[in-house]
Amino acid sequence: MATAPTAAAATPAATPPPADPLLAYYRGVRQMNVQIAKERYKAFYKGRTLEFIRGRGTIAIVDEEVCMGCTHCFDNCAFEAIDMADRKFALPDYSYTSRKAVIVYDNCVGCEKCALVCPVDAITMAPKHGFEMREGKLVSTAPPAPPAKPAAPAPRPATPAPASQPSPASPVAP
Amino acid sequence: MEIERVKAKVLEGRPGFPLQYGPQRADHQPGIPFWPQEATRDFVVISILVAIMFFLSAYVTPLLGPARSPQLSELIVPDWYLLFSWGLLKIADIFPQFVIGDGTPLETRFDAAFWGDILSGIPVIFLLLLPFLDRGREARPAKAPFRSALGISFLIVWIFFASLYSIREVVAERWQTPDIDPGPLSTATALIPDDTMKLFFIVPPVLVFFGSYVALRRLGYQHMRRWLVPLCSLGAIGVAAHSLAILLVPGWLTPLAEPYRLELVVFLAILSLSSILAALAVLRLPETKARKAVLLVGAVALAAFLGGFLYLDRTNPTGLLFILAVLYPNMNTLLFLPPFVIVTAWLGLRRPYSSYEFLLNECYQCGKCHTVCPVTKVEDDALGGLNLVYNTFKKQHDGVPLWTCLACDACSAVCPLDIKYSDYILEERAKSQGRLAADGGKEA
Amino acid sequence: METEYGPGRTIPHPVLFRLLDAEADDTTIPEIKVEHPSEYAYYPGCIDYYDQEMQFSHMNYGDTNHGIIFDSSIKLLRAVGIEPMILDRSFMKCCGHDQLWQGKVDVFKKMRDYNTTIIQKLGVKTLVTSCAEGYRTFRLDYKLPGVRVVHITQILYERGLRIPPQGDGGKKIRVAYQDPCRSCRQMPVGAVYEEPRELIKRVDTAELVELKTFRADAQCCGVAQMMYCNDKTKGITAKRMDEATEVGADYLLTACPKCLTHFGCLHHENKWKPGGERYAYRVMDITQFLAERLPGDYPTGGNVDLRRKETPAPGRRG
């Protein structure tokens, strides 16, 4: 077993452990099992993150054939980048309405959370337009922006105006 | 309502249930192919029956000597195939004998002759009445254990012991003076007292009845290996034990064959080793490897045996004669058992038996399974409409491929033949993954 | 997507199966300290794993609660006077049912040998499971001489579980029961048809209504042995859940955590828009149903997953 079970933490309601050793045993075993399940799942989900690329340059893609509309991805997207589109399924003997996941590409940031939780592996992460995988790293393919032009020098202050210009002091004939 | 929908489909002519019946049917008729499945089965059964006939006439007749007619001999011995009748006639004296209506015109004598007639007619009458008595629809012995056990014990064992009873004097002669051919006037006394012999009519048949009933109930539906392992191992042990006894037990071997001991050892070794190796292959190796191993062992043993014969024939003909003199009287274990073991092992490991084990061949395409299967109702490719089990047997997974089956056993719940489709699915899935399942994961 | 099983067909829940396969790889038998020896043993199975598998979704937030099956089973067993030893996941492995039916027989064999050794070592006489698939596997696919394998409904019925009157003013709730394939049709011996029904009848406010197909004709929940999860298997599940709607049930009970998973998933999915609920009944396991109606606390303290404070509304919470 990969991870050893850790000792159960006290329940948040802070009830004292029951005096009866049997009840203490049951409570202990129960909490230990929840902890075990949590830890093992954490480890394996962590391993699963290595399967997908993620980050600014990635985007999620849903395989519609595989998607079965369970809304796990929808429930977990923090960026409102997944929507569920209603679909009707007509099977030979039965028809029902369901839904399929649709990625809203404007909002997707490539955090891969949807790909992680999809139970049927319908979501894959792919490089966005303008990015590509080079030697295992995601790099941008857009050309670098040209350096900003230096600002034009300030025009020299004009020499004092010739006498043709009326001096501001002289009053203008009404 | 389901029935309405089904009717509608049929009337619409949609693919589902066939609209044509009878000889004009244009769609492909399903059936078990004659070649090689049925041909193999027929060939095996015919060979077994012919072998039994040959065995009996070759083995029994020399033992008995020629038939002795009442005119020539006090000891009456009919031809071997009527011995049972003679035995039943002979045993008739155990019945009470009395006369009814003595002295009147309607006098009836219930004497030994009367009882003997009735007794010797019983097997024949029973066979005549059998179609009327046995109303079950099952053909496989495993599915009708009572009838099969009855057949084995009373039709075979009883008749065997009846025959034996009739010739007990001849058997005694042969036992006491094996080298002398009994003449027409020999008068040896029976080995076992008469009253004890009569018990052989009841006790062995009853024991065999219970034994075969229990064996059929317990082993009837088991994996073929459960049959193969005892048969092959016992055969191999028989050959090996007999060979060792011939070689090691003093006095067993004819003194005349002594100088050719080495050649005898070689022949016996070929026979015993081939059976032992075949039995070991059945026990230890996985199925495909075992098949190949058994074939190899059989081919090599046959080549060695025949090659040895030819070699001896060229170099030492007298030696060959004496070896035959050892092998011939013991042919039932030494010469018949090794081929029996090898052929049984090879036939029993063959692939067609897998579908017979799950009873898929019994399907008569009633279509009930297809009606209740939840997957066929949602899969787009649910063509054919017929008998999902039968299509699987023909390896055409119409509509429910191997992997979409839920193994919910709804089909088995309605199947009139109780075919366990999910057991088949389990085995096939494991096989496709390259692992043998059989018996749900236990060692195959 | 073309896979080895056909187009669009993959075995779902990859993390769960990878985890179980990895667990199976470690075949060393550990030293087990038995805190509470008993000849009755309760095997929870992958209950908590299902909760975690649906960790990021609605199902772990109270709609469908797998862990409560563990707690309810212990409460019910104590109510009939059994103090079982718990064969929990710190030293046991998965029973291997799914691996066996997916064709991974070698993985199943490792799990089976390991579990059998431990069960024999601990001297268990009665093995109680709350999972129908576990029941079938332990009973038919394992060789456990001297051990009696029972489903929890069987042992509760045998021991005469009594549910006190609920005092709800005579209002009857309509309870439908789903017969799991594994413990009913697939069992040539020991099929569990009547015991759960009897137990439901003992609740005085419950009125047992039968679905359109029941007992041996009962339709499967749709995804056995986690083989697929796609539109078509969902169709099977939806069809079954429609039967419960047709019959006007208030509760849909089952005796198998897998059935609970599939019904629960579809149940939640169909109310993803507030106000758009399709199935008006609650889906739960029979042990939870019965334990809720027994007085007293859960001896195990209830499902202590911290997130289960209350049932939140469906929708985004990522």
C185 contacts in B (CB within 8 Å)?
A: 408-410, 412-413
Nearest CA-CA distance, residue B370 and chain A, Å:
13
> pLDDT band for position C119 (50/70/90)?
very high
Q: Which residue has the higher pLDDT, C307 or A8?
A: C307
pLDDT at B179 over 80: no
**Neighbours, chain B (3 or more CB pairs < 8 A):** A, C
pLDDT digits (tens, 9 = 90+) for C84-103: 999 989 999 999 999 988 88
pLDDT score at A6:
39
pLDDT score at B213:
92
Residue of B nearest to C222 (CA): B406
C48 contacts in A (CB within 8 Å)?
A: 33-34, 36-37
Contact C316 A45 (CB under 8 A): no
Q: Does C159 touch chain B (CB under 8 A)?
A: no
Q: Does C308 touch chain B (CB under 8 A)?
A: no
pLDDT digits (tens, 9 = 90+) for B74-91: 778 888 888 888 888 888
Average pLDDT over residues B27-53: 77
Question: Which of C141, C219, C222 lies nearest to residue B441, judging by beta carbons?
Answer: C141
Chain A, chain B: beta-carbon pairs less than 8 Å apart: 14
Q: Does B228 touch chain A (CB under 8 A)?
A: no
Whole-number average pLDDT of chain C: 85
Give me the tens of pLDDT residue by residue for chain A, a chain 174 residues long.
333 333 334 444 445 556 788 889 999 899 899 889 989 988 888 888 888 888 788 889 998 888 888 888 888 888 889 988 888 888 777 888 888 899 998 888 888 888 888 888 889 888 887 787 777 777 777 777 777 777 666 566 555 444 444 444 444 433
Total Cβ atoms within 10 A of residue C134:
28
| CA-angle at B221, arms to B216 and B227, nearest 5° | 70
Question: Which of C103, C143, C232 lies nearest to residue B378, judging by beta carbons?
Answer: C232
Contact B380 A92 (CB under 8 A): yes
**Neighbours, chain A (3 or more CB pairs < 8 A):** B, C
Contact B435 C105 (CB under 8 A): yes
The tokens of C274 are what? Answer: 């507030």
Percent above pLDDT 90 for chain B? 14
Nearest CA-CA distance, residue A133 and chain C, Å:
22
Question: Which of C14, C22, C269 lies nearest to residue A2, judging by beta carbons?
Answer: C22
Residue of A nearest to B381 (CA): A92
Do A33 and A83 belong to one domain?
no
Q: Does C253 touch chain B (CB under 8 A)?
A: no
Show me where the domains of chain C are located: 2-296
> CA C20, CA C14: separation in Å to the nearest integer?
10
Nearest CA-CA distance, residue C148 and chain A, Å:
23
Query: Cis omega before residue A119 (within 30°)?
Result: no
Contact A12 C306 (CB under 8 A): yes
pLDDT score at C149:
95
Do A65 and A120 belong to one domain?
yes
pLDDT digits (tens, 9 = 90+) for B318-357: 888 888 888 877 877 888 889 999 988 888 776 544 455 5
Residue A11 is part of which domain span?
Answer: 5-48
Question: Which of C109, C143, C224 lies nearest to residue B406, judging by beta carbons?
Answer: C224
CA distances from C31 to C11, C92, C118, C124 (A): 34, 12, 10, 16
pLDDT score at B388:
61
Do A19 and A78 belong to one domain?
no
3-state per-residue secondary structure call for chain C: CEECCEECCCCCCHHHHHHHHHHHHCCCCCCCCCCCCCCEEEECCCHHHHHHHCCCCHHHHCCCCCHHHHHHHHHHHHHCCCCCEECCCCCCCCCCHHHHHCCCHHHHHHHHHHHHHHHHHCCCCEEEECCHHHHHHHHHHCCCCCCEEEEHHHHHHHCCCCCCCCCCCCCCEEEEEECCCCCCCCCCCCCCCHHHHHHHHCCCCEEEECCCCCHHHCCCCCCHHHCCCCHHHHHHHHHHHHHHHHCCCCEEEECCHHHHHHHHHHHHHCCCCCCCCCCCCEEEEHHHHHHHCCCCCCCCCCCCCCCCCCCCCCCCCC
| Structural domain total, chain A | 2
pLDDT at C39 over 60: yes
Q: Does B403 touch chain C (CB under 8 A)?
A: yes
Average pLDDT over residues B32-41: 75
With respect to residue A172, please indicate whether it lies within any of the assigned structural domains. Answer: no
pLDDT score at A7:
39
Show me where the domains of chain B are located: 80-201, 223-352, 355-436
Strands C6-7 vs C2-3: parallel, antiparallel or unpaired = antiparallel
pLDDT at B301 over 90: yes
pLDDT score at C275:
63
Contact C89 A89 (CB under 8 A): no
> CB neighbours of C262 closer than 8 A, spacing ≥ 6?
C221, C222, C223, C237
pLDDT at C197 over 90: yes
Contact A94 B377 (CB under 8 A): yes
With respect to residue A95, please indicate whether it lies within any of the assigned structural domains. Answer: yes
A5 contacts in C (CB within 8 Å)?
A: 90
CATH number reported for the structural domain that contains residue A69 in this entry: 3.30.70.20
> CA B117, CA C116: separation in Å to the nearest integer?
63
Q: Does C189 touch chain B (CB under 8 A)?
A: no
Look-up of token digits 């064999």 = C109
Q: Specify the amino acid at residue A90.
A: A
C300 contacts in A (CB within 8 Å)?
A: 26-27, 29-30
> Residue A143: is it exposed, middle or buried by C-beta count within 10 angstroms (0-12/13-18/19+)?
exposed
Contact C74 A68 (CB under 8 A): no
Q: Does B409 touch chain C (CB under 8 A)?
A: yes
With respect to residue A65, please indicate whether it lies within any of the assigned structural domains. Answer: yes
pLDDT at B395 over 60: no
Nearest CA-CA distance, residue C15 and chain A, Å:
6
Question: Which of C90, C272, C303 lies nearest to residue A32, judging by beta carbons?
Answer: C90
Whole-number average pLDDT of chain B: 77
Average pLDDT over residues B422-438: 68
Q: Are C152 and C40 in contact (CB under 8 A)?
A: no
With respect to residue A152, please indicate whether it lies within any of the assigned structural domains. Answer: no
pLDDT score at C216:
83
Q: Are C174 and C207 in contact (CB under 8 A)?
A: yes
Do A39 and A92 belong to one domain?
no
Q: Which residue has the higher pLDDT, B431 or A36?
A: A36
Q: Does C185 touch chain B (CB under 8 A)?
A: yes
pLDDT at C75 over 80: yes
> CA C129, CA C132: separation in Å to the nearest integer?
8
Which of B368, B369, B378, B397 is the best residue to mutate to test the C interface, defined by the most C CB atoms within 10 Å of its own CB? B378
Q: Does B106 touch chain A (CB under 8 A)?
A: no
B-facing residues of C in 86-115 (CB < 8 A) are 96, 100-106, 108-109, 112
> CA B139, CA B195: separation in Å to the nearest integer?
39
Q: Does B1 touch chain A (CB under 8 A)?
A: no
Question: Which of C52, C90, C301 lies nearest to residue A27, judging by beta carbons?
Answer: C301
The tokens of B1 are what? Answer: 């309502």
> CB neighbours of A70 closer than 8 A, spacing ≥ 6?
A119, A120, C57, C229, C265, C269
A-facing residues of B in 359-418 (CB < 8 A) are 377-380, 382
Which SS3 state, helix, strand or coil, does residue A33 take? helix
Q: Does A94 touch chain B (CB under 8 A)?
A: yes
Do A19 and A67 belong to one domain?
no
Q: Are C24 and C30 in contact (CB under 8 A)?
A: no
With respect to residue A92, please indicate whether it lies within any of the assigned structural domains. Answer: yes
